[in-house]
């Protein structure tokens, strides 16, 4: 079996994971939002807030170390049941940090690794996809995602180039709210420079107006594309043995002789009552219970 690449285990990997987490999480202000997309939870104002931030940082560090300890102990465990239980504890620890808004590619990758070792392929695929959303160049997440895909049954359609799509969506490292604010600021600056250029023929004002107009258009387009969902939203089948049907009815004809396993990557096109229409990697549309799939960008 192909060896899975890991992030954040071992002494060097542990310190890298902790260092990356805190380099992204303790920064404050707009710079943090642009760089990591989750700085708001660690913004430092003054006085008691600064003390609270320090306490929170220490708590996050200890929780991360505990999750990494659980992972390493599970790797050393000889008993299969105890090993799986250890990886599940690590998975829960990483997931709890992410639930608190601390999102980094390394943390998502560690969550995927723990989920994979615990046998939870759906959670593993979802975590790797989210790591690549944060950083399309995250090589460990990319290689481990390819490994999980190889574990799925041969009849299950697999994506062929979703990594390239993730790379094209690198702008999503910046939160949509931040992009909206930047778009508004760019529009205001463009309008200001248009007024100045109309009154002063000399100077760079016209060029600056065009530049900020282009920036505004690109930022606005990124927000509109994310809001519209385009041809649906990327999602992952999370429930094991998900029955796929030809229409949105409990007694509708089965789309496949076998149910879909967890970890299948799909595009969720619409939700209708208790059912969701999804598109598989080969382009085929089927209906499944809406609760059986989770969007990547949730």
pTM score, whole prediction:
0.67
What confidence category does residue 205 fall into, taking pLDDT thresholds of 50, 70 and 90?
confident
Per DSSP, 278 falls in state E
pLDDT at position 25 is 37
54-58, 62-66, 251-255: the lowest-pLDDT one: 54-58
Class of the CATH domain delimited by 233-295: mainly beta
pLDDT top residue among 161 and 1: 161
**Would you list the domain boundaries of the chain?**
10-151, 171-223, 233-295
pLDDT tens string 211-222: 989 998 888 876
For the segment 3-51, what is each residue's pLDDT rounded down to a tens digit? 566 555 454 345 344 444 433 433 322 223 223 333 322 222 333 334 3
Give me the residue label for tokens 């003390």: 51
- Region 49-70: mean pLDDT is 73
Alpha-carbon distance values, 295 to 217, 237, 275, 292 (Å)? 27, 9, 14, 10
CATH class assigned to 10-151: mainly alpha
Tell me: the pLDDT tens digits for 107-130?
A: 999 999 999 999 999 999 999 999
**Distance, CA of 116 to CA of 112 (rounded, Å):** 6
Both tokens assigned to 113: 């690794």
Rounded to 10 degrees, the C-alpha dihedral 121/124/130/136 comes to -100
Output helix, strand, coil percentages for the chain, rounded to the nearest 5: 60, 10, 30
- Read off the pLDDT band of 190 (50, 70, 90): confident
The CA distance from 104 to 97, in Å, is 10
Question: With contact defined as beta carbons under 8 Å apart, do 220 and 253 qualify?
Answer: no
**CA–CA separation, 116 and 124 (whole Å):** 5
């Amino acid at each position: 079996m192909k060896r899975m690449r890991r992030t954040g285990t071992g002494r060097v990997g542990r310190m890298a994971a902790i260092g990356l987490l805190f380099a992204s999480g303790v920064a404050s202000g707009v710079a943090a939002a642009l760089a990591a997309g989750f700085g708001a939870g660690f913004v430092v104002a003054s006085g008691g807030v600064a003390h609270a931030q320090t306490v929170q940082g220490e708590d996050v560090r200890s929780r991360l170390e505990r999750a990494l300890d659980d992972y390493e102990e599970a790797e050393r465990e000889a008993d299969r049941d105890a090993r799986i239980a250890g990886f599940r504890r690590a998975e829960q620890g990483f997931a709890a940090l992410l639930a608190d808004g601390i999102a980094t590619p390394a943390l998502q990758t560690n969550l995927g690794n723990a989920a994979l070792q615990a046998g939870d392929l759906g959670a593993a695929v979802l975590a790797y996809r989210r790591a690549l959303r944060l950083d399309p160049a995250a090589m460990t997440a990319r290689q481990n995602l390819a490994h999980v895909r190889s574990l799925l049954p041969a009849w299950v359609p697999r994506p062929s180039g979703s990594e390239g799509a993730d790379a094209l969506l690198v702008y999503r490292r910046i939160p949509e709210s931040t992009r909206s604010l930047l778009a508004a600021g760019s529009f205001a600056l463009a309008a200001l420079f248009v007024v100045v250029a109309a009154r002063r023929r000399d100077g760079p004002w016209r060029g600056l107006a065009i530049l900020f107009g282009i920036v505004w258009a690109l930022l606005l387009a990124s927000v509109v594309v994310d809001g519209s969902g385009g041809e649906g939203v990327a999602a992952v089948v999370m429930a094991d043995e998900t029955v796929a049907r030809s229409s949105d009815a409990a007694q509708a004809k089965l789309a496949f002789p076998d149910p879909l396993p967890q970890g299948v990557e799909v595009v969720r096109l619409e939700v209708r009552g208790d059912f969701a229409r999804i598109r598989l990697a080969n382009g085929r549309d089927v209906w499944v219970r809406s609760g059986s799939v989770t969007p990547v960008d949730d």
